[in-house]
Amino acid sequence: MTDSGTKPVKFSILDLSSVLQGSDVKSALDRSLALAQHGEAHGYERFWMAEHHGMEGIASAATAVALAHIGQGTKSIRIGAGGIMLPNHAPMVIAEQFGTLEALYPGRIDLGLGRAPGSDQRTAQALRRNLNSDANEFPRDVIELQALLAGDERLGIQATPGQGTNIPLYILGSSLFGAQLAAALGLPYAFASHFAPQMLDQALEIYRRDFKPSEQLGEPYVMCGFNIFAADSDAEADFLSSSMLQSFVALRTGNPGKLPPPVDGYRENLPPQAQSMIEQIMQGSAVGTPDKVKQAVDRFIDRTGADELIITGSIFDQAAREKSYSIAANIRELIAA
């Protein structure tokens, strides 16, 4: 167990921009904008979108473009990538894309970076990056991107827009590699505990132990992904969560698709192997009434000492989704008090 200190824990939003069954990409991106506006009104720190490719159920593959849509409809909430899969891109391209976002929405842009392709191997090949790169390429790309955003003259090139923006970087991960890199570079570390919590405790221990201060960050800063499905009753929250559970099962069985509508009793009717998989995935989750969710959030914060929870939860009905985030915001205020 880790003491999170006296500072209030920030709450943020990670949105996959899910495309609903029977709907389309435009509707998904508009739902994302509505959620960002809702989060802004309820005091969330930041709104992040993630890069995934070749998945008909996720609308944020062109992450910088999707974030421009979010930025034009919001005023103060930070917006960013959670994350950009840097092996898919030349650092120069990302510096220009996010430099453009910073020019449009100054002081509001974050750039989280991951080293997974965010796709299958065939799609990764179609993105035209070298699939046979060595293990050191991701750290080198992060350092190059950081230098481009700083306008480091030693590079001999300029990212325009981008240079001189010093957009804050975050390292994302679900393994020890990301923890080690974030610690070595003195960057914030965001752990994907909302879907891959197995190495959470060990990764955070390594990150905090090995952290070296940098110009961006003087001491370790930990963000943890966390699913919240909050409703007036446990039964309703379980019902709402079944859309995401169906998506998890479909993805793990090689049949990903659009976000399905919720189903009563879905989890209980799964075969034992699927139930075991769901149990493992949902360790970083809270499902239930406000009181039940608060208890789970308290335990998770006590366990991790997280400085920030980045909350997700793929809920089919937009009103129910926004209500769940309202409940989570109320829980944040109770914890702060």
pLDDT of residue 303: 97
Q: Identify the CA nearest to 88 among candidates 51, 59, 56.
A: 51
Task: Give the whole-angstrom CA distance, residue 334 versus residue 294.
Answer: 9
Assigned CATH for 10-336 = 3.20.20.30
| CA end-to-end span of the chain | 21
SS3 track for 158-185: CCCCCCCCCCCEEEEECCHHHHHHHHHH
The pLDDT assigned to 129 comes to 58
DSSP 8-class letter at 283: G
Closest CA to 18 of 321, 327, 329: 321
**Has residue 205 got a pLDDT over 50?**
yes
Q: Tell me what pLDDT residue 62 has.
A: 97
Q: What distance in Å separates the CA atoms of residue 258 and residue 61, rounded to the nearest whole number? A: 14
Q: Of 83-92, 135-144, 171-180, which range is least confident?
A: 135-144
HSE on the CB side for 290, CA within 13 Å?
A: 14
Instruction: Indicate the average pLDDT of the chain.
Output: 94
What does DSSP assign to residue 114? E
Q: Do residues 79 and 12 touch, judged by C-beta distance below 8 A?
A: no
Q: Residue 3 above 60 pLDDT?
A: no
pLDDT tens-digit series, residues 166-192: 999 999 999 999 999 999 999 999 999
pLDDT (mean) for 260-279: 93
Q: Quick check: 125 pLDDT over 90?
A: no
Q: What is d(CA 226, CA 300) in angstroms, rounded to the nearest whole number?
A: 9
pLDDT in tens, 302-321: 999 999 999 999 999 999 99
The H-assigned helical ranges of the chain are 25-41, 63-72, 91-104, 121-126, 137-150, 176-185, 200-210, 234-252, 272-281, 290-304, 318-336
Measure CA 184 to chain center. 22
Q: What band does 7 get if pLDDT is binned at 50, 70 and 90?
A: confident
Structure confidence at residue 119 (pLDDT): 63
Is pLDDT above 70 for 133?
no
Residue 288: what are its φ and ψ, rounded to 5°?
150, -160
Q: What are phi and psi of 155, to 5 degrees?
A: -70, -30
**pLDDT given for residue 149 in this prediction:** 98
Q: How confident is the model at residue 236 (pLDDT cuts 50, 70, 90)?
A: very high
Q: What is d(CA 66, CA 50) in angstroms, rounded to the nearest whole number?
A: 10
Average pLDDT over residues 194-210: 96
* pTM for this prediction: 0.95
* pLDDT exceeds cutoff 50 at 109: yes
107 Rama sector, left if φ>0, alpha if ψ -120 to 50, beta otherwise? left
Q: Span 201-213, mean pLDDT? A: 98
**Domain map (residue ranges) of the chain:** 10-336
- Range with the poorest average pLDDT among 280-284, 290-294, 312-316, 321-325: 280-284
Q: What is the mean predicted confidence (pLDDT) over 103-120?
A: 89
